[in-house]
Amino acid sequence: MKITGVETTAVQVPMREPLKWAGGTRHTASGLVVEIATDEGLVGIGECPGPTLPTIQTVVERELAQFLVGQDPLRVDWLVHRMEEFTRNWSQLGVYAIAGLEIALLDLKGKALDVPVAELLGGFCRDEVRFAGYLFIDEPEAVAERAAEFVEAGYDELKLKVGRDLGQDHDTLAAIRDRVGSDVKVRIDANMNWSVPAAIKWIRTLERFDLQYVEQPVPDFDLEGLAQVRRSVAVPIAADEACTDLRSVLALLRAEACDVFVVYPSEAGGLTRASHIAALADAAGKWCAIGSWAELGVATAANVHVVASSSNFPFANDTHYPLQDGDVLDEPLPLEGGRIDALRAPGLGVALDPDRLERLARLELRQSVFYDDVQGEAPRIGQIL
């Protein structure tokens, strides 16, 4: 079997409502859908979520497709290695493109061998994958109401965005605990917006709400600062923005900076590399959770395969999927009550709907995800002292 072509479609899906977090307000989910065609008629589908779709699309089509066309698609590791070497000194951009292509190669390989992608990643470790109810910054009572709705629907873990206003964060956690009680696990994510002293002070203040863990309290580049926060509080610390590829995980381990790694296959450079991060974390006695770029159905299904095939994702994982209004799949993913059964059909186990893909096709120039339309003084991460 030989690869005959690589096609991409940039897609944008609206959110059901605007989602406010420390770094801005999200109105849409967007991704680059990738289709790899072969001379035997099999097509593999993938998705690159990422920060700059026009660039990622160019990288896929004009830089990386040349390494795939004419090649045997079953040699996934060899193809990925070639692309990684080619993008070595611009790997921060290259990973997103490689990730989407690797997902498509694994989908293709699964279809060719008649096995689900999880089987290619080591086999099933669990029958279902859990997701957390995702809560954003809003009035405390409004957030608590959404929290209660998630719990009523069957979710048993919640994730709350914090980091803009400390009083509001406190009151929101109080309102959530008041509504959902103490059995539901709640973690918070400050998205790098606290300074080191602020993080220590505020995590100590908020730990009375029994936090599962705190995600990326301080800026991503400050591993020493993250380690200092970790040593100073009793709540586990998760690295998110600081956790990207395998090398970043090695740096975090050396700095003893975190207890949990928030893993993004898109930032790791594919599902295999994400699985490697989970294995490395396991060897170091650490834990993993999947993070969310607001993946569409293809990449969300891919995430399900990573978690289903690993023993090191003990927490409910992140997803924006229930908050998105539409998808590119022919059937929406069966995410019910915070759970999705492991996908057992060959490949990713999902299929594109060509009409929906065409209808949602739009090349996004990135919204102001980092800070709303701020006038005047330039905002920065780690700004809250």
> For binding to Mg ion (CB under 5 A), which residues are involved?
189, 215, 240
Q: Which is nearer to Mg ion, 25 or 58 (CB)?
A: 25
Q: ∠ CA(219), CA(13), CA(187), 5° rounding?
A: 40
Q: Kindly tell me the burial class for residue 123, based on how many C-beta atoms sit within 10 Å of its own C-beta (0-12, 13-18, 19 or more).
A: exposed
Which of 58/383 has CB closer to Mg ion?
A: 383
Nearest distance from C-beta of residue 375 to Mg ion, angstroms: 27
- List phi, psi (to 5°) of 293: -95, 10
Two tokens at 265? 């296959």
User: Based on CB atoms, which residue is closest to Mg ion, 87 or 266?
Assistant: 266
* Least distance between Mg ion and beta carbon 262 (Å): 6
Q: Which residue lies nearer to Mg ion by CB, 67 or 131?
A: 131
- 92: its two tokens: 């921060």
Rounded to the nearest whole angstrom, what is the least distance from the CB of residue 76 to Mg ion in the complex?
Answer: 28
User: Which residue has the closest beta carbon to Mg ion?
Assistant: 240
Residue 210 token pair: 């029994």
Question: Min. distance of Cβ 241 from Mg ion in angstroms?
Answer: 7
What number of other Cβ atoms are within 10 A of residue 154's Cβ?
12
The minimum distance between CB 108 and Mg ion, in angstroms, equals 31
Pick the closer one to Mg ion by CB: 107 or 215. 215
Strand pairing of 133-135 and 3-21? Answer: unpaired
Provide the minimum distance between the beta carbon of 190 and Mg ion in the complex, in angstroms, as a whole number: 9
Q: Which is nearer to Mg ion, 107 or 189 (CB)?
A: 189
Q: Kindly list the distances between the CA atom of residue 187 and the CA atoms of 33, 133, 254, 329, 357, in Å, as whole numbers in the listed order.
A: 31, 10, 25, 30, 34
Instruction: Tell me, letter by letter, the H, E, C secondary structure of 283-321.
Output: HCCCEEEECCCCCCHHHHHHHHHHHHCCCCCCCCECCCH
- If the CB atoms of residues 146 and 187 are measured against Mg ion, the closer one turns out to be 187
CA 210 to chain centre: 24
Cβ at position 220, least distance to Mg ion in Å: 10
Give whichever of 134 and 155 is closer to Mg ion, judged by the CB atom: 134
CB 161 within 8 A of CB 187: no
Taking the complex as a whole, the smallest distance from the CB of residue 366 to Mg ion amounts, in Å, to: 18
Give the pairing of strands 128-130 and 260-263: unpaired
From the list 173, 169, 179, 168, the residue with the least C-alpha distance to 145 is 179
